[in-house]
Each structure stands twice: as structure tokens, then as C-alpha cells.
């Protein structure tokens, strides 16, 4: 499973590519749009940003997968948004927009998971590596 150091390094490299290309490269990965998710650190209270892919979008709702590469631990960003669901999301270098984050209900996940894994098989592979059910997170426009 990826270490925290490896995940932070991948995010730093991704940001470097975005910056070096003036935002022309790096806003998609594996045919998925990339977004920057900013949460509030549950311990620090400071903003924390991470680059993530979104395998599914439904209307104004953006779906992200809390897979952490199939690790048995949830990603830190998931724990952060559970404590503070008000997040900021930026797509393709556009201004950040305020959104509300929540974990998909069991019914929502049961409907969405097959849609995601049919196209992006790596997520199905991640699920086989862990005993935890990998959560789907819905990012919805803030009310």
C-alpha cells in the first residue's frame, strides 16, 4: 500500500506538472477529470489540499473514491471531511468553489460502485486488497 510519503510525493509531482505546464497538463488522469480538494485538517484546523480523480459526475454532484490504493486505512482527507464537510473544490485550474461533502449512503454506493468499476477496473482491484468497504464521497454544491 502507498505510504504517506509516497502519496504526498505523488501530489507534489502532480502540482509541479500543473505549474510547469501553466495548467495545460495534469487536469485529467486515466480519462478521469482531476480536481483539487481542500479540506480542513481535523487536528490542525488548517486547510489541506489533495489532487484526486473523479470517476463519476452526476449533474452538479462530483463523486470521488476514498480508496487510498486499497489500503486498510482511510485517506486523511476522508477523515477531515467527515469532521468538517464544508470543502473547496477546483477543476481545471478554475476558482475554488464551496461544496458540501458526504459519504454515499449504502443505496447510493450500491448503484454507483458498479458504474465506476465497469469503466475503471483499478477501483475493483483496490477493493479486493482491503477488508474495509471503500467509501464513495459525494461533493455537492454548498447550499
Count the domains in the chain. 1
CATH code of the domain in which 64 resides:
2.30.110.10
Per-residue pLDDT at 27: 53
Digit-coded pLDDT (tens) for 50-59: 999 999 999 9
Per-residue pLDDT at 31: 81
Per-residue pLDDT at 14: 47
Residue span of the structural domain in which 24 resides: 4-141
Burial of 53 (0-12, 13-18, 19+ CB in 10 A): middle
Per-residue pLDDT at 91: 83
Average pLDDT over residues 11-30: 56
Q: Band of the pLDDT at 128, cuts 50, 70, 90?
A: very high
Per-residue pLDDT at 127: 95
Amino acid at each position: 500500500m502507498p505510504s504517506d510519503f509516497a502519496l504526498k510525493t505523488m501530489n507534489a509531482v502532480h502540482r509541479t506538472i500543473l505549474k510547469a505546464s501553466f495548467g495545460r497538463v495534469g487536469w485529467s488522469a486515466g480519462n478521469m477529470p482531476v480536481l483539487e480538494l481542500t479540506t480542513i485538517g481535523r487536528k490542525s484546523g488548517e486547510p489541506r489540499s489533495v489532487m484526486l480523480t473523479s470517476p463519476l459526475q452526476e449533474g452538479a454532484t462530483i463523486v470521488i473514491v476514498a480508496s487510498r490504493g486499497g489500503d486498510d486505512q482511510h485517506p486523511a482527507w476522508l477523515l477531515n471531511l467527515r469532521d468538517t464537510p464544508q470543502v473547496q473544490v477546483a477543476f481545471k485550474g478554475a476558482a475554488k468553489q464551496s461544496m458540501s461533502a458526504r459519504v454515499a449512503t449504502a443505496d447510493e454506493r450500491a448503484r454507483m460502485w458498479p458504474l465506476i468499476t465497469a469503466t475503471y477496473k483499478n477501483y475493483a482491484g483496490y477493493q479486493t486488497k482491503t477488508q474495509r468497504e471503500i467509501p464513495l464521497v459525494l461533493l455537492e454544491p454548498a447550499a
